[in-house]
Amino acid sequence: MRQLTWRRPRALTVLAVAGTAAVVAVFAAMVLRGRPAEAMYGLYLFQNGPSGVVLLWMGRLILLRQPGNTAGRVLVVVGAIHVLHVLVMIAADVALVSAGFPQPLGDLAQLIVPADLPLTAAVPLWVANWLWLPAPLLAATVLLLAFPDGTPRGRATRPVLAATAVGGAALMAAFVVDAWPTADWPTQEPPAVVLILLATGGPLVAAAVATSVAVLLIRWRQARGPGRRPFQVAGMAAVAFAVVAVATYPWQHIWTPAILVSFNLLIVAYALAVARYRLHDLEPVLGRAAVAATMSLLVAAVYATVVIGAASLVGQRVDSRVLPLVAIAFVAVLVEPARRRTRTVVDRLLFHRRTDRTEVMSRLAAHANVAPASDVVTEVTDLLVRSTGAARAEVHLTHEAAAELPAAEPPVLRTTVQHHGETFGEVRLYATARADLVPDAAQLLDDVAHTLGVVLHNERLTTQLRDQLDELHASRRRLVEAHEHARRGLERDIHDGAQARLISLRLRLGALRARLGHHGDQSVSNELGLIGDDIEATIRSLRALARGLHPPLLEQAGLTDALRSHARDLPIPVTVTADSIGRYPRAVEAATYFACLEAVQNAIRHSQATTVTITLAGGDGQLHFQIQDDGTGFDPTTARAGTGLVNIHDRLSALGGQTRVYASLGKGTRVTGRIPVEAR
């Protein structure tokens, strides 16, 4: 077994190397013999030589990893047929020139019949006439039946192969008879047996090809998800083949080589699709570099074919030996741009790559500063799948429970996400095998992981800062609530303590004065009356002080009634209007109440206002208020904010609110504020 597995790869390599050397030797011999490009074109060297080399090497690559792959075997056979055809045609050309027929083969076929030629030329031409036939037959039937995994299957396989074999044998027999070395009939008047064989084999082959196409379409309709990807490559190549065939048909000199080259491109696309279907069974050399080089060679072949076809189209005979060298020089100039373009196309077809590395990093950098980390992580997984050829990408963060669980399948590539020595997790790429990924996948993954580490580090800092700000706001709210609680406690202490005792003392003095009024000194009674008046004044002062600390009406009836009650004792008219005002947390009502009083006091003391309007409104989870006066106003660009406005700002900002002051000279002042609240 070891000997067999060692010899088979060597045999395939020897075959591919021998085919390549043979094609190179044929072209070198033609140039050294001074044969014009038209002669090479007439011998189908440009059409069959390069494609034969490509098919041999691609078939070898597939068979190295999949020895039983039918598609690989067919590609090798078709490539060998092309190389043999090239060798047979140069043998015929040597014999023709020696016999005195240096004209291009296309022109010569219109002038003579095989019997007019020496056997040394007639026999190679006879072999070439039927040798090419198996190549299109295999490509049009077996390759279609074996698509996309390289294994023919289904009930239609045997009938199609049988029809292809019988029909192909009939067609080959027709070509064998038609170009017999001693035939003396014109090309336009073949024997009846040739027509019979063509009429027999043609329909059989046509039916086999039609059935193969139908089987391929059925497989395409039944394929789902990733199973449809190989069909995209072959489908695009088939469409391109049809476009070339139709577009070049009016120019027959170009149409024939264009059809042959397009046919070879179709075969290459087929091989790429099979390689993509089982990419993990091939070496990465089948990836970007090898396929790009192959496509560059095909570009050169197409260019040379078009140049020669165009020269023939304009009717100029090309006998110069310089033309092939000029064509090679032009191709050399075009190889690098074609290689870069082909590399992009190959990445899309072979690795399903839709985004390159530069675009990935640009898009990631653009999102890193504006999007939250969760969105960036989602963007990372999508970009990695689009740019690396991976089946899927995952980001596992250290704080996620899933990161501690063992993966159901090991990733083919992974890297750690860290920044400044802090580890955040890792990024993983999953594929059938490492060869499914583009060659620079590891470097791209490292770059993405580094950028993601920066994003997650900044997100953590932002979260910490946000938490600290939230704690600061909560702390300020607690201070305000504690302050209001202390004010309410002090108000209760004054009301229930000192004020109550003074009232009791006032009542006792009144009773004592009443008794002295009947039996005692009148002067003492009058003095007690004065003391009682002082106690009454003290009680009123304590009541005013208690209301200033925290008016009981604010706790009992709410913000609107408390403001209206206070407005009745002010020296100027103050109007209070309220819209959709309910009850709110004590701290919010107290902050709004004292902010309104502060603004009203400023209007009375500093702006010489004659009327003030207080407007309250609720809605949208906020309590809004506005104090508008008709005073003298001030210039906000020159005036400094006084203690009153600063107190208003501090009260509201402690509860997450905002305040603004609008003023101008001679037009009064307007103070607005809002506090986020939840009605209770």
What are the tens digits of pLDDT across the range 225-280?
A: 666 666 766 666 667 767 777 777 777 667 766 776 776 676 666 666 665 544 43
Confidence bin at 290 (pLDDT 50/70/90):
very low
- Assign 80 a pLDDT band (cuts: 50, 70, 90): very high
Q: So what's the pLDDT on residue 86? A: 92
The mean pLDDT value for 590-611 works out to: 87
Q: What is the mean pLDDT of the chain?
A: 75
Average pLDDT over residues 550-573: 83
148 or 583, which is more confident: 583
Percentage of residues of the chain with pLDDT beyond 70: 67
What is the mean predicted confidence (pLDDT) over 14-32? Answer: 91
- Say what the pLDDT of residue 670 is: 92
Is the pLDDT score of 551 beyond 80?
Answer: no
Rounded to 5 degrees, φ, ψ at 21 are -65, -40
pTM: 0.46
What tens digit of pLDDT does each residue of 166-211 get? 998 998 998 888 888 888 877 777 888 888 988 998 899 899 888 8
Q: Average pLDDT of 324-345?
A: 58
Identify any residues that bridge with 616 across adjacent strands, giving them in sequence order: 578, 625
Does residue 99 contact residue 145 with C-beta atoms inside 8 Å?
A: no
Mean pLDDT of 664-672: 88
Q: Which tokens in the block code for residue 230? A: 């190989």
Give the pLDDT confidence of 471-522 residue by residue, as tens digits: 767 666 666 666 666 566 665 656 566 666 677 677 776 776 676 666 666 6
25-34, 71-80, 387-396, 541-550: segment of lowest average pLDDT: 541-550
Q: How far apart are CA 242 and CA 263, in angstroms?
A: 10
CATH architecture of 558-676: 2-Layer Sandwich (3.30)
Whether 351 shows a pLDDT value over 60: the answer reads no
> Residue 576: which pLDDT band, with cuts at 50, 70 and 90?
very high
Domain 357-474 has CATH 3.30.450: yes
pLDDT of res. 673: 92
User: Which pLDDT does position 306 carry in this prediction?
Assistant: 46
Taking alpha carbons only, the member of 137, 157, 158 closest to residue 147 is 157
Q: Rounded CA gap, 410 and 429, in Å?
A: 9
Residues 611-621, mean pLDDT to the nearest whole number: 89
Pairwise CA distance, residues 282 & 288, whole Å: 13
Tell me the pLDDT tens digit for each residue of 124-135. Answer: 888 988 898 898
Place of tokens 């063509």: 198
Q: Say what the pLDDT of residue 577 is.
A: 92
Q: Which helix (H) or strand (E) holds 675?
A: strand 669-676
Lowest model confidence (mean pLDDT) among 305-319, 363-377, 486-500, 616-630:
305-319
The two tokens of residue 335 are 């190889």
- C-beta of residue 610 within 8 angstroms of C-beta of residue 630: yes
Q: What is the pLDDT of residue 476?
A: 65
pLDDT value for 85: 92
Task: Answer whether residue 402 shows pLDDT above 80.
Answer: no
Query: What 3-state DSSP class applies to 454?
Result: helix
149 or 216, greater pLDDT: 216
Checking DSSP bridges between strand 612-619 and strand 574-579, what pairing results, if any? parallel
Whether a cis peptide bond, with omega within 30° of 0, leads into 551 is no
3-class DSSP state for residue 623?
strand
What letter does residue 311 receive in the DSSP assignment? Answer: H
- Characterise 663 by phi-psi region: left (phi > 0), alpha (psi -120 to 50), beta (else): beta
pLDDT at 541 over 70: no
State the virtual CA torsion across 57, 62, 65, 70 in degrees, nearest 10. -130
Q: How far apart are CA 645 and CA 83, in angstroms?
A: 96
Q: Once rounded to an integer, what is the mean pLDDT over residues 27-50?
A: 86
**pLDDT surpasses 60 at 298:** no
Q: What is the pLDDT of residue 627?
A: 93
Q: How confident is the model at residue 23 (pLDDT cuts 50, 70, 90)?
A: very high
153: phi then psi, degrees, rounded to nearest 5: -155, 165
189 in helix, strand or coil?
coil
Query: What confidence category does residue 6 fall into, taking pLDDT thresholds of 50, 70 and 90?
Result: very low
Between 544 and 378, residue with greater pLDDT: 378
Instruction: Name all contacts of 448-451 with Cβ < 8 Å and 24+ positions apart.
Output: 448/360, 448/361, 448/364, 448/380, 448/383, 448/384, 449/415, 449/416, 449/417, 449/418, 450/419, 451/361, 451/364, 451/365, 451/368
pLDDT at 442: 84
